[in-house]
DNA sequence: CTACAGTGGAGCACCGGTGTTCCACAAGGG
DNA sequence: CCCTTGTGGAACACCGGTGCTCCACTGTAG
């Protein structure tokens, strides 16, 4: 078949996805993992990995795209424009928590995701910014907290919850409950 | 001078400390930094660094000891047995925040200070545990939050605050205020 | 002045990860 | 059946960090 096979389903697309998935998993655990380890995790030879991603940086670029895409989907699922700001943030937290290992990866390699769209200083996802500003207005998010800080708190709590889940033998549900509870308190307007 | 020079003040002790301080700074920024970079930051030749710490692991052991010592001093300064649980935690947060780069280092290399004293599963600083339990009893810390989770939240907030301070051009005072505010809300008992 | 502690540059071998090439093998489509 | 596509083992050179040795330099105590 002489087709160009850019993004249609096929052997190549499946292998490529397997490598990306494995990379997220492995690099999430250990950001300095070698390409060999990633190849093993993907059930693929190192040669094959190099065929798809000639240089390490090529793989990282693909991971960046994949990460952004998953973040976008999660944000869509959270229906950020419905309900109060705090409720929307809670839903976003829930959706992000499902991202699993990707949380660790993003946390240890923030530059993978630091979208160039966001202004250089005080970078912040614009959707999150509007969400927080809505929360400020509707009185469900502490107006003393800038959107950028709310974003920091959200991510640090997510990461804490995810590693807490990995370190202890708590259930996924319980971990998310703890995160939601502390995050809710953290952003709530104070007396 | 044929003295043993174990921990008295002297050229060796000063050089050794300079290396340790530089290592905390450099490794806090980039956990994969080379020994050469650390030596440069310490204004010391790589040869000298190797004289004090023959292997990388030796330096890491020294960093572990130094880190523990600073943590202990910070905890002492916080007078953890005075006032309510929440107040003590707030003071501890304040003291820890002063640790600066050490926060990043501990956060990226937790095994450096994961004290073997702490029980393997659900590891937790015993002083923090008693503090949190006091907070549970005196009604200033949400009884739904186990001590281990409070510890996770404390550290993740400290790290978030520290990197927020590094990323934005906010004042140290403002950053600490944000951390204290969100941490306070996070652990507060919920209506 | 002499002796010695402390330093640090230069150079070396070693090791692991990387990027690349070559070739053998299996599956499926003409 | 042959030929293309995808694969992956093996081997190679390269590079950077590491651990080590040797030696020249400086400063200070005796």
* Residue of B149, B183, B185 lying closest to A188 (CB–CB): B185
CA-nearest of A17, A31, A28, A167 to A101 is A28
- Predicted local distance difference test score (pLDDT) of residue A113: 86
- Predicted local distance difference test score (pLDDT) of residue B2: 39
- Nearest residue of B to residue A31 by CA position? B32
> Taking the C1' atom of C8, which residue's CA lies nearest?
B45
b/e map B78-112, b = 16+ CB within 10 Å: bebeeebbbbbbbbbbebbbebbbbbbbbbbbeeb
The CA–CA distances, whole Å, from A172 to A154, A162, A169, A181, B43 equal 17, 9, 9, 14, 48
> What is the token pair recorded at A56?
């390490």
pLDDT surpassing 70 at residue A8: no
Please tell me which of A112-126, B99-113, B170-184 the model is most confident about, judged by mean pLDDT.
B170-184
Q: For residue range B11-67, list pLDDT tens digits in order.
A: 888 999 999 999 999 999 999 999 999 999 999 999 999 999 999 999 999 999 999
Chain A positions touching B148 (Cβ under 8 A) are 164, 168
Q: Break chain B into its structural domains and give their ranges.
A: 1-54, 65-187
- Predicted local distance difference test score (pLDDT) of residue B29: 95
pLDDT surpassing 70 at residue B160: yes
Alpha carbon distance A178, A186 (integer Å): 12
Confirm if B187 and B133 have CB atoms less than 8 A apart.
Answer: no
Confirm if A159 and A182 have CB atoms less than 8 A apart.
Answer: no
From B10's Cα to the closest Cα of chain A, the distance in A is 38
In the DSSP assignment, the letter for residue A115 is -
Q: For residue range B95-148, list pLDDT tens digits in order.
A: 999 999 999 999 999 888 877 666 665 678 899 999 999 999 999 999 999 999
Alpha carbon distance A190, A180 (integer Å): 17
Q: For residue range A16-73, list pLDDT tens digits in order.
A: 999 999 999 999 999 999 999 999 999 999 999 999 999 999 999 999 999 999 999 9
Topology alike, domains A1-54 and A63-187: no
Chain B positions touching A180 (Cβ under 8 A) are none
- Predicted local distance difference test score (pLDDT) of residue A5: 43
**Which CATH number describes the domain made up of B1-54?**
1.10.10.60
CA A163 to chain centre: 14
* Residue of B144, B148, B168 lying closest to A121 (CB–CB): B168
**Which CATH number describes the domain made up of B65-187?**
1.10.357.10
- Predicted local distance difference test score (pLDDT) of residue A121: 59
Q: Report the CATH superfamily, name and number, of domain A63-187.
A: Tetracycline Repressor, domain 2 (1.10.357.10)
- Predicted local distance difference test score (pLDDT) of residue A119: 63
Q: For residue range A62-111, list pLDDT tens digits in order.
A: 999 999 999 999 999 999 999 999 999 999 999 999 999 999 999 999 88
CA-nearest of B99, B102, B96, B103 to B22 is B102
Helix, strand, coil shares of chain B, percent, nearest 5, are 70, 0, 30
> What is the token pair recorded at B166?
């590094």
Confirm if B149 and A164 have CB atoms less than 8 A apart.
Answer: yes
> What is the token pair recorded at A135?
């929360």
């Amino acid at each position: 078949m002489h087709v160009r096979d850019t993004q249609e389903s096929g052997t190549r697309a499946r292998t490529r996805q397997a490598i990306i998935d494995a990379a997220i998993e492995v690099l999430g655990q250990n950001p300095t993992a070698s390409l060999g380890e990633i190849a093993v995790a993907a059930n693929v030879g190192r040669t094959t990995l190099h065929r798809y991603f000639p240089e390490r940086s090529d793989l990282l670029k693909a991971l960046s795209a994949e990460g952004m895409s998953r973040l976008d989907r999660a944000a869509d699922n959270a229906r950020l424009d419905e309900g109060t700001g705090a409720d929307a943030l809670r839903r976003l937290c829930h959706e992000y928590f499902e991202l699993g290992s990707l949380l660790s990866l993003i946390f240890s390699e923030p530059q993978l995701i630091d979208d160039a769209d966001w202004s250089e200083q005080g970078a912040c996802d614009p959707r999150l910014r509007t969400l927080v500003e809505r929360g400020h207005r509707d009185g469900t998010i502490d107006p003393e907290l800038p959107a950028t800080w709310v974003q920091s708190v959200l991510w640090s709590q997510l990461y804490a919850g995810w590693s807490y889940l990995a370190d202890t033998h708590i259930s996924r549900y319980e971990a998310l409950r703890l995160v939601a509870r502390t995050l809710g308190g953290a952003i709530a307007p104070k007396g």
